[in-house]
Structures are given as structure tokens and as C-alpha cells.
Amino acid sequence: MSIVPNLRFSSHEVWVTLLLFVCLLLFAWVRITNPKKIPSLVTGFFKGSATEEKTITPDSIALFFVFICSAALLIMQVFRFNNIQVHLNNGEEFLLISLVLLGYYLLKTVFLLLCGTIFQVESNSRDYINEIYASAHLAALGLLPAVIILTFVNNIDKEVFEKGILTLIFLLFLYRTAKMFILMMKRGLSMIYLFLYLCALEIIPLVLLFEYRKGMNF
């Protein structure tokens, strides 16, 4: 008996399977080369202090790559489930979404670094940046299995599964934002600065995305 996976993507989109395989290899490589990396991410994210990850390392780059790829594929699946038509092929759509996600994170990084320099709170801004990327690394651990399931499995309630994933992501986002807001307040950072940041790069993009989703079917 042979088991042939029934991909939700077209049969000729072999690159999706290859990309997921590469992500799995990267995840295994991180586990082998730095066994403490993932446990430290989990404990660091859910404890009441800033993450201890302070530098850019090969394993952090690998996890961020897995996050970007998994998030882009998940967004593509959400588009399929909601019958949102994009006038691009799957490869072009994946590249576009990946570049948008990467640009969004780079924009947040530059914005926080500039704010830290202008308001002379460089240490606080770096801690916030570290927490943003640590949460992305942690999200990769859950998004990759979810995307694999959505890609290869058909006998699931896709609507319930999709809503469950998005709800969990939203709750983690709220937790991370509330945690860093409290930490920065304890360090004496002005509430006005924090509120402006949250509005500019956290809340407003979500509101715009929600309104765009309601009003457009491109």
C-alpha cells in the first residue's frame, strides 16, 4: 500500500514540499547544535523578564527563516480558505508575502532603534527588539507543524483549525505586548512613547489588515 499525500497546493508545486523539508532540516539543525535554544525560548518568553537572547546567531537566523516561510504559507492557506483570489502564481504570492513580512519586521527594528537613540533609551529599545524576534522564533515552533498539517491533511475541519491557529497567535501577541509594556514601564520608560509605538507599529497595522480583509477580495 502506498501513501500519497494530497497537497492542497497544485501537484506541480513541488517547491512547497521542498521548502517545508528545508524548514524541518533547519529546525533539526538548531536542536542538534544548540539543544538549550528552544527550551530557553519557551521559558524566557513566559517568565516575567526580558529574553536573554542578545545577539544574532546562526540558529536565531534559521528560526526566523522558518517563521517567515511558515507564516507566509499559512497566510496563503488562509487566502485559499476564504476564497481570496490573488492574481499571482503560488511562487510569486509566497515571495510577495515573505518580503512584506520581512519588511515589516525590519521597519519595526529600525523604528525602535531610532526611538531608542532619540530618547536615549537604547537598552530598553534593544530589549524590546530582542523580545519581538524571540516571539517570532517561538511562533515558528508552532507554525511549522500547523502549516505541514494544512498542506498535507484533508480530513480536518479547516475552518476550526484555521480559527484556532489565528486565535492562538493573537493571544500570544497580546501576551508579548502586555509583558513588554509592563517591563518598560517598570524601567521608567514614558507611557506616551510606548503608546505611540503600539499605535504606530502594532495596533494600526492589525486594524488596517482587518479593514482590508473586510472590504477587498482581490
Amino acid, single-letter form, for residue 7: L
pLDDT digits (tens, 9 = 90+) for 28-62: 999 999 888 888 877 777 775 555 565 678 888 99
Cβ-proximal residues to 165 (8 Å cutoff; 6+ apart), any chain: 74, 142, 143, 146
Q: How far apart are CA 126 and CA 116, in angstroms?
A: 8
Domain ranges of the chain: 14-215
Percent of the chain's residues with pLDDT above 90: 18
Cell digits for 65?
527563516
pLDDT digits (tens, 9 = 90+) for 116-153: 787 777 777 787 788 788 888 888 988 898 888 888 87
pLDDT digits (tens, 9 = 90+) for 69-91: 999 998 888 777 777 777 788 88
Amino acid, single-letter form, for residue 145: P
pTM above 0.85, yes or no: no
In the prediction, which pLDDT does 195 show? Answer: 63
Among candidates 63, 72, 205, 204, which has minimal Cα distance to 136?
63
- In terms of pLDDT, which residue wins out, 8 or 103? 103
Cell digits for 54?
542578545
